[in-house]
Amino acid sequence: MTDPTRQPLPAPKPEPASESAPEPTHLSARARYRDLQVSSPGYYLLAIAASVALAVAAATAALPLAKSNTQLLQMAAAGLVFTAVMMVFLVSDQRRAITARLTRDFAERERIQDELAEQLLFTRQLINAIPSPVFYKGTDARFIGCNEAFERWIGRPIDDIVGRTVFDIYPRELAEIHVDHDRALLHEAGNISYQGHAKIADGSVRDVMIHKATFTKEDGSIGGIVGISLDLTEHMQSAEQLRQAKEEAERAATEQRGFFEASPHGIVVTRDRKFMMCNHAMENILGYGPGELVGQDTRIIYASDTIYEAIGAEMYPAILAGGSFIKEMQTRRKNGEDIWISLSVSLIDKNDPSHGTVGVFEDISERKAAEEELRKAKDEAEHAFAEQQAFLESSPHGIVISRGRRYVMCNRAFEEILGYERGELIGQEARIIYYDDADYEAMGKKRLETIRSGHTFSTEIWAKKKSGAGVWIHLSVSLVNKNDPHGETVAVV
């Protein structure tokens, strides 16, 4: 029977490694990794030292009990096995703790990365939804980004814009103007607006209004400049067309009002047709105070439920298909006034409509009013022209209007006197009713001297008919507009 006192000492059960205390949430992932890297080797050394010490102690205690060297070696082997088992448990527990901590850190990092990606996606969609060219530069005056409208504006992809200066894009005489304003902004933070010129992709030079402002870094220092270019060319052309139309109607050399300056665009984010966020320009366009629109249903900017439902039925199929909804329409301000706007809407995330939409509003009421005034002016001009035509056709006398001694208008009586068919004289030079150049030049000189002095030139001439036969006519010539001696003349025959 074996002596129980000679049995090897049982290996003590290893105590389960305790979970690390929860780490403060404010510690960064890098700090956590640093703690692991510092504490892990010390933990292992401590475990090894403790296990070896226990094995040595057990072997020493059992030495007097050993009957032979063989039994002593068996006891020593048992101690080493005990040490190995302890190491397995300790390493396993430590690995599980490290794995758990790394898993939490990776999950937190992925969550932060997802949030940053969503914010970047929203920012890019927001900038690209703005129809006007937007750009931003660093403090070294080199471009660091832009929207798609700016790429189309200058005819270059963003990769060919970033890192360049305005001198690489515009002619020097145009670039220097922009650089002077950039220097002023970078010297003293703020914002600035000025009118200038820009050469675009098709080679034309456009009239633009440029709004610029500085942006700051996290430490409060100036990080660069963000700007937006508003194209005024069409507004200027519209104003010029209006001026010309009034001149046709009134026959007067007066200037009309100039172009309308473009206002900054209103930007709004909606979800389920509710305002989630908007800028001050949007509030100003619709007449609301700061924050009043947030949380409101977009129904409040429509004149009726019918219009609200109709716009929704038209807009959502377009944006859900991945496109943009663009429309000129009337919208209602807070005070009940209806104004004209240009609306551009698209999804923030084309792959996930639940993120909502971003819309850009531009107040085009002034442009619409100008178009209506232009239409009225054209109607008046057409009416005046119709009355003039009726008078010309009913007159028994031949009447002809010339510009630069070339017939631009005449009545049927004048054509019949000279034997021409209807319309044959339009565009012809007055030379055709004279028999020779000498008479034509002499008569022209006398006529010009008289009418430029403010009088009517009257004479009788032997005029040449289409058939070649001659006819005596009495000719009275005067200026259509006495304030314009080089303008049109009217003659009565």
* DSSP code, position 336: S
Residue type at position 425? L
Q: Among residues 324, 332, 339, which one has the least CA distance to residue 308?
A: 332
Quick one: pLDDT at residue 162?
93
CA 86 from centroid of its chain's CA atoms: 67
- Tens of pLDDT, residue by residue over 363-404, are 888 888 888 888 888 888 777 777 777 767 777 888 888 888
| Cβ-contact 493, 398 below 8 angstroms | yes
Sorted by where each begins, the domain ranges of the chain are 4-126, 130-231, 266-363, 395-492
Least confident of 78-92, 127-141, 341-355, 425-439: 78-92
Fold of the domain spanning 130-231: Beta-Lactamase (3.30.450)
| Cβ-contact 472, 383 below 8 angstroms | no
- Tens of pLDDT, residue by residue over 208-259, are 888 889 988 888 889 899 888 888 887 777 777 777 777 776 665 444 333 2
Q: How confident is the model at residue 265 (pLDDT cuts 50, 70, 90)?
A: confident
- Tens of pLDDT, residue by residue over 121-142, are 887 788 888 888 888 899 998 9
Least confident of 109-123, 379-393, 450-464: 379-393
Say which CATH superfamily domain 395-492 falls into. Answer: PAS domain (3.30.450.20)
Q: Do domains 130-231 and 266-363 have the same CATH topology?
A: yes
The answer, yes or no, to whether residue 29 has pLDDT greater than 50, is no
State how far the Cα of 353 lies from the Cα of 349, in Å rounded to an integer.
Answer: 6
What separation in angstroms does the CA of 385 have from each of 344, 371, 380? 41, 21, 8
What separation in angstroms does the CA of 9 have from each of 73, 76, 206? 14, 11, 96
State how far the Cα of 257 lies from the Cα of 140, in Å rounded to an integer.
Answer: 41
Q: Is the pTM of this model over 0.85?
A: no
Residues 6+ positions from 75 with CB-CB distance below 8 Å: 8, 58, 59, 62, 63, 66
Average pLDDT over residues 179-190: 88
Quick one: pLDDT at residue 472?
92
Residues 6+ positions from 438 with CB-CB distance below 8 Å: none
Quick one: pLDDT at residue 65?
52
Asked if CATH classification 1.10.10.60 holds for the domain at 266-363, the reply, yes or no, is no
Average pLDDT over residues 275-297: 89
Quick one: pLDDT at residue 85?
56
For residue 113, the surrounding DSSP H or E stretch is helix 69-129
The mean pLDDT value of the chain amounts to 77
Q: How many CB atoms lie within 10 A of CB 225?
A: 23
- The most confident of the ranges 22-31, 237-246, 288-297 is 288-297
Strand order of the β-sheet with 205-216 is 143-146, 134-138, 222-231, 205-216, 191-199
| Cβ-contact 348, 125 below 8 angstroms | yes
Tokens of 215: 């942006």
Quick one: pLDDT at residue 49?
54
Tokens of 262: 């473009």
The answer, yes or no, to whether residue 461 has pLDDT greater than 80, is yes
